[in-house]
Chains A and B, each alone.
Chain A
Amino acid sequence: MNKQTKVWLVLSIALSLLALGSACGGSKQPVTNEANTSSASGPYSGPTGTVAGVVSYEGTPPAAKKIDTTADAACGKANPNLMTDDTVVTDGKLANTFVYIKDGTVDGGKKLTDYTWSTPATAVQLDQKGCHYSPHVFGVQTNQKISITNSDQTQHNIHWIPKTNPEWNQSQPNGAPAIEKTFARPEVLIPVKCNQHPWMKAYIGVMRTPFFAVSGTNGAYEIKGVPPGKYTVVAWREGGTNGTEKTFEVTVPANGAGKADFSFGTGPATTSTKPSLTMMPAIELPMMHK
């Protein structure tokens, strides 16, 4: 082997090892916190209002499906009648819809993102109980802790598949301590799955601002502490490749409430009962290429 060949060989091996190392450690690289790099002008202080409404489901919702838990006896024991919860409708009201202020202008001309919004110190809990994620849909602010616990008598893995944040997968055997994680970048919505129990799914909405909520079993939601202004409110629900969104333009008065009702399913689009609001018809967007 001549000298030149040896040099090339050593270089090739070194580059391969470097590529291998960077590939293995790729997911652990720190991510720039976009919230910290925005041109924030300090915290907002002034009067606030709320955005509230009800999410309805028009038409006949798809029936919940029974989940086969025979592959793991602990799941069947803990939750013998485990059903899908992608469309939870009670008296025509839709639960688990993530509603958030996507964009808008605060009275005075500034954008919501021009202000800094402090990250809550309390962690959001995500529990694995009965081989089911609880809550099924939830929101956090960027860099807010998510505390993941396993209350089951079996092992799980938590695997989230974001598009802008790093992908992450971690096993959590029964009895293991809680895992705390954060997201550095805003992203709506991040699917979470358990590869050991493939029916287990959850969705996390990561927001730079605290202006989000999830509809309860009565379909109601409320976003508090919103500065007066004109906003685009979005309701997101799971289904299809990337879920379905509906948008609504809403005006929030100082110390008042802007109302934005949403409707999914096969019925008519968005409704509103408050004529003083600026309204636009809802647009249903199958987010195929999000």
Chain B
Amino acid sequence: MLIIAIGNRHLRFKFLMSKGLNRFAILVASATFFLIIAGALVTSNDAGLATSDWPLSNGQFLPPMVGNMFYEHGHRMIATTVGLLTIGLAIYIRFKDKRFWVWRLGFFALFAVVIQGILGGLTVKMMLPLGVSAAHATLAQLFFCTTVSLAVFTSKSWIEARPFREEHANTPLRHMCTIALVMIFVQLVLGATLRHSAKWDQHLPAQLLVAHIVGAFAVAVALGGATLSVLRRHAGEKFLTRPATIALVLLVVQLSLGVAAYLTRLGSPDDPQPLHPMIGITVAHVACGALVFATTIVLTLRTYRVLPATEAAMAMAGQES
């Protein structure tokens, strides 16, 4: 029986696992994270309209990268690279991965990055209307979510056979993690809207600010509860405890960055221009928010992988093997 089990596991790997694809998916997710940082730098430096045209900048493919053009055109260059990488990833998945739903996710990523590019162009041509800018920032996080998920689904740790773990608690961890994930996403939307509703030389709108602070408490409770429950209930399972620990640490860092970002932003309207530490801390807050989101995605997907609670999950696991 043991020999058969090992043989099945080997066949499953051979059938599904591609190290190259997984590395490429990680590369795309990392590039997307870098792109989110570049986008945050554009907003914090008020560089979004440094050039009035799109997709070229001042009619040039490579304009002088001086002043805020460095951030705006730099963001466009990184975005183009991510777009090309996503095309490559969708094609790579199509040829290397046998799972139809992973193909579909790959093409969804491609669709999302195209829409994201159009939103980026629209926000420039329409001169940064709040709705479009906030949608651009929100879709960035959704796209990041997709690329991180693809990196998870193509990883060895996801594909290899894993025993399902029993859950005896009343509240399933997968539900707790999903709730935390949804709350983080809502909080990211609130944060994006808050950031785009006032430039560096304007005060932040009080109502949105309060909503974002309330959201931070809600996320702290939801994610804190989910991660601590993972650590308590599945102490020996690194597959779950590792992302839970990272998410918990990042949550603490993110809350601290949020307080620091608010304090530095308070004095910004009196500054002659966007200055550090306001820029650095605010961008770090955005980046850390994306990391909290990514880690929670990994954690949530993994809880669905090893903590089956529904027949559908069992069926999905059965399809893969």
Q: Which residues of A contact B (CB under 8 A)?
A: 20, 23-24, 26-27, 65-68, 71-75, 84, 154-155, 157, 159, 167, 169-171, 173, 195-199, 241
Q: Give CA–CA (A198, B69) in the complex, Å.
A: 11
Establish whether residues A195 and B273, one from each chain, have CB atoms under 8 Å apart when the complex forms.
Answer: no
The minimal Cβ–Cβ distance linking A88 to chain B, given in whole angstroms, is 14
Instruction: State which of B6-14, B47-55, B172-180 sits at the interface with chain A.
Output: B47-55
Q: Give CA–CA (A122, B201) in the complex, Å.
A: 34
Establish whether residues A199 and B272, one from each chain, have CB atoms under 8 Å apart when the complex forms.
Answer: yes
Establish whether residues A171 and B273, one from each chain, have CB atoms under 8 Å apart when the complex forms.
Answer: no
Establish whether residues B272 and A195, one from each chain, have CB atoms under 8 Å apart when the complex forms.
Answer: no
The minimal Cβ–Cβ distance linking B118 to chain A, given in whole angstroms, is 9
Contacts of A173 in B (CB 8 A): 58
Establish whether residues A72 and B66, one from each chain, have CB atoms under 8 Å apart when the complex forms.
Answer: yes
Contacts of A73 in B (CB 8 A): 66
With A67-B272, A154-B64, A173-B58 known to touch, is A196 a contact of B69 (CB < 8 Å)? Answer: yes
Establish whether residues A157 and B51, one from each chain, have CB atoms under 8 Å apart when the complex forms.
Answer: yes
Establish whether residues B203 and A195, one from each chain, have CB atoms under 8 Å apart when the complex forms.
Answer: no
Establish whether residues B52 and A197, one from each chain, have CB atoms under 8 Å apart when the complex forms.
Answer: no
Contacts of B125 in A (CB 8 A): 23-24
Show 29 A/B contacts (Cβ-Cβ < 8 Å), sorted by A.
Answer: A26-B126, A66-B272, A67-B273, A71-B66, A71-B67, A71-B70, A75-B67, A155-B58, A155-B67, A157-B50, A157-B52, A159-B52, A159-B127, A169-B52, A170-B52, A171-B51, A171-B52, A171-B53, A173-B58, A195-B47, A195-B68, A196-B47, A196-B51, A196-B66, A196-B67, A198-B47, A198-B68, A198-B200, A199-B272
Contacts of A20 in B (CB 8 A): 122
Interface of chain B residues 260 through 278 with chain A (CB within 8 A): 271-275
The minimal Cβ–Cβ distance linking A266 to chain B, given in whole angstroms, is 16
Establish whether residues B63 and A197, one from each chain, have CB atoms under 8 Å apart when the complex forms.
Answer: no
B45: interface (CB < 8 Å) = yes
A-B contact count (CB 8 A): 81
Establish whether residues A23 and B122, one from each chain, have CB atoms under 8 Å apart when the complex forms.
Answer: yes
Nearest CB to that of A74 among chain B residues?
B66
Query: Considering residues A27, A68, A171, which has the most beta carbons from chain B within 10 angstroms of its beta carbon?
Result: A171
Q: A23-B126, A157-B52 are in contact. List 9 more A-B contacts (CB 8 A).
A: A24-B122, A27-B126, A155-B66, A155-B67, A155-B69, A195-B68, A196-B50, A196-B66, A198-B47
Contacts of B48 in A (CB 8 A): 195
Establish whether residues A196 and B272, one from each chain, have CB atoms under 8 Å apart when the complex forms.
Answer: no
Establish whether residues B203 and A241, one from each chain, have CB atoms under 8 Å apart when the complex forms.
Answer: yes
Nearest CB to that of B126 among chain A residues?
A23
Establish whether residues A169 and B68, one from each chain, have CB atoms under 8 Å apart when the complex forms.
Answer: no
Contacts of A169 in B (CB 8 A): 49, 52, 127
B256: interface (CB < 8 Å) = no
Contacts of B68 in A (CB 8 A): 71, 195-198
Interface of chain B residues 193 through 224 with chain A (CB within 8 A): 200-203
B160: interface (CB < 8 Å) = no
Nearest CB to that of A154 among chain B residues?
B66
Q: Give CA–CA (A159, B67) in the complex, Å.
A: 15
Contacts of A171 in B (CB 8 A): 51-53, 58
Contacts of A68 in B (CB 8 A): 273, 275
The minimal Cβ–Cβ distance linking A162 to chain B, given in whole angstroms, is 11
The minimal Cβ–Cβ distance linking B318 to chain A, given in whole angstroms, is 33
Q: Give CA–CA (A23, B272) in the complex, Å.
A: 33
The minimal Cβ–Cβ distance linking A87 to chain B, given in whole angstroms, is 12
